[in-house]
């Protein structure tokens, strides 16, 4: 099976397992795990922030980010298809009591005008107590539902400046910031620079089995540690996991451009197939989203699965394929052959 469902399906390599087995560990709730401390320092340094906190998942990292910037009743501006809106179980409302005002984006990218419009204009005729106070702006880079979109640096700065003009805190969901950097040549630190807090994941693309981090200023991350404990994220000898992330940063991060190149190969191959709609120019990183032009995506994905290619259907026509370190050039070529072979059945000509 060529598993293109997600870049989270990777298995730890022998080198990574050896690093995990050899990790020097302690009780992280007491701040005594050397591998966790090293990972937090390394992540903060890579992102140009004062500190970082290691947490089990990207969802927890984002939710802690939201919690530390807001109080119940506050307003957060988040693009409408972002992971925080669509795939975190309503956590922002349930955990932080936050109202989300979804912004309209194009493949995940929105404009400063969208931010201005969502905040609105105050006027003495309208009591300021009516609206939920806007407190937080979130950006996702790369944007998953947008198709792995890499934010242009200027667009990102423009929305961040708009956020600052309105006094908003800025959070970056950089679950795949590593891929944004590999695809664009812009460093993670440059992407992270305007933000107060940044979530990064070690378990997507980088190949670690578990783990994310929230980076930011020292005081904010001290506050984040409080909520990590409150959310049940306090782990003990977590250095076994941190060691896998340190290994991934050192040994796997330099190769992420391979995923981006293979995503382009897949996208360009798909673009030649009748019954599939995709513009390879929309594929910026390791996520390939395309549509079937007749027939239904679920039936198409099931036919591909039966032929040995596992992908996720989304909606009536959409399909997602994600490149990752366990997928080779040969796998991409084989996947294209298998997809082409099922198209006539999945897409009836009538």
Ligand X SMILES: Cc1ncc(COP(=O)(O)O)c(C=O)c1O
DSSP 3-state assignment of 294?
coil
252 binds ligand X (CB under 6 A): no
Min CB(54)–ligand X separation in Å: 12
- Residue written as tokens 């990064």? 200
DSSP 3-state assignment of 318?
strand
Stretch that binds ligand X, among 100-108, 190-198, 199-207, 315-323 (CB under 6 A): 199-207
173 binds ligand X (CB under 6 A): yes
Min CB(143)–ligand X separation in Å: 7
- Exactly one of 144, 181, 285, 286 binds ligand X (CB under 6 A); that residue is 144
Length of the chain: 350
Selection from 164, 136, 159, 139 nearest residue 149 by Cα: 139
341 binds ligand X (CB under 6 A): no
201 binds ligand X (CB under 6 A): yes
313 binds ligand X (CB under 6 A): no
- Exactly one of 3, 20, 44, 58 binds ligand X (CB under 6 A); that residue is 58
107 binds ligand X (CB under 6 A): no
Distance of CA 169 to the CA centre of its chain: 19
Burial (CB < 10 A; 0-12, 13-18, 19+), residue 281, is exposed
Span 204-223, contacts to ligand X by CB under 6 A: 204, 212
CA distance 284 to 142: 9
If the CB atoms of residues 56 and 134 are measured against ligand X, the closer one turns out to be 56
309-310 and 2-3 strand pairing: parallel
CA distance 314 to 318: 5
Site string for ligand X, 61-80 (x = CB under 6 A): -x------------------
59 binds ligand X (CB under 6 A): yes
């Amino acid at each position: 099976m060529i598993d293109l469902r997600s870049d989270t399906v990777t298995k730890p390599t022998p080198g990574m397992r050896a690093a995990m087995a050899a990790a020097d560990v302690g009780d992280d709730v007491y701040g005594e795990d050397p591998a966790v401390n090293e990972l937090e320092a390394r992540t903060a340094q890579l992102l140009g922030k004062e500190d970082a906190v290691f947490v089990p998942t990207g969802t927890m990292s984002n939710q802690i980010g939201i919690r530390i910037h807001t109080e119940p009743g506050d307003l957060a501006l988040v693009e409408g298809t972002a992971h925080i809106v669509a795939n975190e179980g309503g956590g922002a409302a349930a955990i932080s009591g936050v109202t989300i005002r979804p912004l309209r984006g194009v493949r995940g990218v929105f404009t400063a005008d969208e931010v201005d419009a969502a905040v609105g204009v105050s006027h003495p005729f309208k009591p300021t107590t009516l609206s939920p106070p806007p407190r937080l702006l979130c950006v996702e880079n790369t944007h998953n539902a947008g198709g792995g979109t890499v934010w242009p640096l200027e667009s990102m700065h423009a929305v961040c400046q708009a956020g600052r003009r309105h006094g908003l805190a800025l959070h970056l969901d950089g679950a795949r910031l590593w891929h944004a950097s590999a695809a664009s040549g812009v460093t993670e630190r440059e992407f992270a620079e305007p933000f107060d807090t940044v979530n990064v994941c070690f378990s997507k693309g980088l190949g670690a089995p578990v783990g994310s981090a929230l980076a930011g200023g020292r005081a904010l991350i001290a506050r984040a540690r409080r909520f990590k404990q409150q959310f049940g994220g306090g782990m003990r000898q977590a250095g076994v996991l941190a060691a896998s992330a340190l290994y991934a940063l050192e040994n796997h991060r330099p190769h992420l451009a391979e995923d981006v190149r293979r995503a382009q190969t897949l996208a360009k191959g798909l673009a030649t197939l009748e019954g599939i709609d995709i513009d390879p120019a929309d594929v910026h990183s390791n996520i390939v989203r395309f549509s079937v032009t007749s027939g239904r995506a679920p039936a198409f994905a099931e036919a591909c699965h039966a032929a040995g290619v596992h992908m996720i259907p989304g909606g009536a026509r959409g399909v997602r394929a994600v490149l990752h370190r366990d997928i080779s050039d040969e796998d991409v070529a084989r996947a294209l052959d298998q997809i082409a072979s099922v198209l006539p059945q999945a897409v009836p000509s009538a």
